[in-house]
Amino acid sequence: MTAYLIALLVGLAAGTHAATWGMYKDSVYEGFSRNKYLRSILLAGGLAIVAQLVLGLDMARAGSLVILFGVTYVLERGAFEFYKVFIRKEDQTKYFIPMTFAVGGRIVRSQSLRLLAGAGYLLLIGSVITGVHFLDRARPGLPALLMVILIGSAAGWLSAIGGAWKDAPLEGFQLLKFFRSPALASGFAVLLSLLTANYVLISLGALGFTIATIETYKKFFNRHKAPGKFEGKPVRHPEMYRTRRRFVPVYVSLWVLIGLSIALALFEPSQGLL
């Protein structure tokens, strides 16, 4: 039970991290909703427990905490984005870039077609994860570093393609932005390969940390630029510029905890691939 309690805490931390950057940028356009803020936190907490049930990580190791954080992060983000894009029914006029499934920037109105597209997307993701799993079992005779970069970038390419599909029709195709996720995911994969030898955990965890890093930069270090989805839209809740500052210490504390966990993990006896 202690392991699952620790897993829950890791999940709650991952959810709080994701909920905070989402609130920080969007709240000046949408306002603050306590239920919306708690949604990611509770979902991530539950997903972390499920992940621990499946993975059986040693929660006494700092490396396991780091891995579980990254995996939980990508599971929560994936689940929530899937819901927003393929299932949720919402007025899209408040957005510059549609948040529901669209083709060439044009919203697909048919719920049946959206669900069909969602099923195809799940199949694609499942195929990539399955491929990485089979590579893990086969262990082809390639240099370990090359394999880490390949499996790390695999999840990053999924994110890059999905982002370009959604944003490029209205924002234009941005070459550096397209390669950003695969490049960062490869770097985080190298880091996580020092903590685990499991290809799937390396790939998923790397994408989780990639999302956390990119969104931190976009929301906090580029805070004067409107999110792409609200480009050109009016600021309806200017009072949130002041209110959202109260959450910054929480966000900074989470990054400090992440950094300390990674540092401690690197001093543990290696169970990694590299």
Q: pLDDT (tens digit, 9 = 90+) per residue, 20-69?
A: 999 999 999 999 999 999 999 999 999 999 999 999 999 999 999 999 99
Whether residue 188 contacts residue 70, with contact meaning beta carbons closer than 8 Å, is answered with yes
Give the side-chain half-sphere CA count within 13 A for 28.
22
Neighbouring residues of 105: CB distance < 8 A, sequence distance ≥ 6: 97, 98, 169, 170
Inform me whether the pLDDT recorded for 224 exceeds 80. Answer: no
Q: Is residue 274 part of a domain?
A: no
| The two structure tokens encoding residue 114 | 């959206």
Domain with 85 in it: 2-266
Q: Is residue 213 part of a domain?
A: yes
Inform me whether the pLDDT recorded for 169 exceeds 90. Answer: no
- How far, in Å, CA of 56 to CA of 198, rounded? 13
Residue 91: which pLDDT band, with cuts at 50, 70 and 90?
Answer: confident
Q: What is the mean pLDDT of the chain?
A: 93
Calculate what percentage of the chain has a pLDDT beyond 70: 100
- How far, in Å, CA of 171 to CA of 6, rounded? 42
Q: Is residue 40 part of a domain?
A: yes
| The two structure tokens encoding residue 227 | 């999110």
Count of domains observed in the chain: 1
Q: Is residue 273 part of a domain?
A: no
Q: What are the angstrom distances between the C-alpha of 258 and each of 69, 233, 242, 251?
A: 9, 34, 26, 11
Per the DSSP assignment, residues forming a β-bridge with 107 are 102
Residue 105: which pLDDT band, with cuts at 50, 70 and 90?
Answer: confident
Q: Is residue 122 part of a domain?
A: yes
Q: Is residue 26 part of a domain?
A: yes
b/e sequence 93-116, b meaning 16+ C-beta within 10 Å: eebbbbbbbbeeeeebeeeeebee
Q: Is residue 272 part of a domain?
A: no
Q: Return the pLDDT at 222.
A: 80
Distance of CA 75 to the CA centre of its chain: 7
Q: Is residue 240 part of a domain?
A: yes
What is the tens place of the pLDDT at every residue in 54-65? 999 999 999 999
Inform me whether the pLDDT recorded for 1 exceeds 80. Answer: no
Calculate what percentage of the chain has a pLDDT beyond 90: 73
Nearest alpha-carbon partner for 124 in 101, 154, 99, 144: 154
